[in-house]
Amino acid sequence: MKILLLGKNGQVGWELQRSLAPLGELIALDRQAVGNLCGDLSDLESLRATIRQVGPDIIVNAAAYTAVDKAESEVGLAERVNALASQVMADEAASQGAWLVHYSTDYVFNGEGTEAWQESDAVAPINRYGASKLAGEQAIIASGCLYLIFRTSWVYGARGNNFAKTMLRLAKDRETLNVIADQVGAPTGADLIADVTALAIRHVTTRPELAGLYHLAAAGEVSWYGYASHVIDFAKANGEVLAVGAINPIDSSAYPTPAQRPLNSRLNTQKLRDNFSLRLPDWQSGVTRMLREVLNK
Ligand code: NDP
């Protein structure tokens, strides 16, 4: 089996390099060209030519325009990378009989209510990033290719920057931290996403009827405030010297950003767990593991 991985150095892409390796021949690209292979999703014609040249059985697309606030002003680029490039991959997958594995976001929803979103719920993105990711999903679904789309939320990895590391850095110098408490979701490890992806690929290659759209997130829920408190409590309990004394919950309205964020990022993962006989661990176990890794505890 030949797998073409795009976005190999993102949080999820990095973990996919590990989890996909045992499945077959892995050709992994980032936006830099390798020979005449092009992994830059903004160069649509070169992307198409690359897929044709590689002739993969499975395309796994972990690349995306993920700068949520910047997408409000770089609308054209966000749409090109998140929607038009998805269209190219889907069309090529359809014509070559390949699978397309793709990632999307709870930001396709408007964030209202407190129920966990199901795959069948109505979509209504409230920012440009969400709209561009939704357009990508719709292009894939309309193409007629065999696809797996995983909508996920609040992704972190031990490598690179993440919310927990930012909180730890700020807590070293500041006595108080103000953290948003009215947005709720589930921090989800890039390693979990990559492992579930590999398991799902194993299933669908023999059971194509499992193709479709799935919600993939760690179990449980928490606000950014609760997440920050978990991180700081763990660090203090494990001997980190921090200046922070108080963590204050604030509303989103007290922290305006160019892109509006949904308040309800909860994802219902029942379909994924049932169709693939999976158990998804609670968010705390993955975050604690990541903290042990970054703090070397
Ligand atoms: P990252 O931002 O960590 O990785 C995205 C990767 O895409 C980066 O390596 C980036 O490269 C690359 N990229 C950006 N533009 C291009 C381009 N034009 N051509 C090629 N590569 C490009 O994202 P995650 O790993 O966290 O996200 C994986 C998927 O999950 C994405 O589809 C995202 O939309 C989705 N998702 C992410 C969430 C999150 O909280 N992060 C939440 C919900 C869904 P470079 O570093 O060079 O820019």
**CB-based burial label for 142 (10 Å; 0-12, 13-18, 19+):** exposed
Question: CA 275 to CA 211: how far, in whole Å?
Answer: 10
Which pLDDT does position 175 carry in this prediction? Answer: 96
CB 82 less than 6 A from any atom of ligand 1:
no
Quick one: pLDDT band at residue 297, thresholds 50, 70, 90?
Answer: confident
Q: What is the mean pLDDT of residues 112-135?
A: 98
- Give me the pLDDT at residue 189, please: 97
Q: Is the CB of 68 under 6 A from ligand 1?
A: no
Q: Does residue 41 have its Cβ closer than 6 Å to ligand 1? A: yes
| Closest residue by Cα to residue 107 from 144, 79, 132 | 132
**If DSSP states are collapsed to H, E and C, what string results for 75-123?**
HHHHHHHHHHHHHHHHHHHHHHCCEEEEEEEHHHCCCCCCCCECCCCCC
For position 33, what pLDDT does the model report? 85
List, in order of start, the domains of the chain with CATH numbers.
Answer: 2-161+187-220+267-281 (3.40.50.720)
Q: 46 alpha carbon to ligand 1 midpoint, in Å?
A: 19
Q: Read off the pLDDT of residues 147-172 as tens digits, 9 standing for 90 and up.
A: 999 999 999 999 988 999 999 999 99
Ligand 1 touching residue 153 (CB < 6 A): yes
Over residues 250-274, the pLDDT tens digits come to 999 999 999 999 999 999 999 999 9
Ligand 1 atom nearest to CA at 102 = 32
Cβ of residue 152 lying under 6 Å from some atom of ligand 1: yes
User: Distance (Å, rounded) from C-alpha 208 to C-alpha 145?
Assistant: 11
Q: Ligand 1 centroid vs 66 CA: distance in angstroms?
A: 5
pTM: 0.97
To which H or E segment does residue 271 belong?
A: helix 270-276
Atom of ligand 1 nearest to the CA of 80: 18
pLDDT > 70 fraction of the chain, expressed in percent and rounded: 100
> Is 107 assigned a catalytic role?
no
Residue owning the nearest CA to atom 45 of ligand 1: 10
| Per-residue model confidence (pLDDT) at position 161 | 87
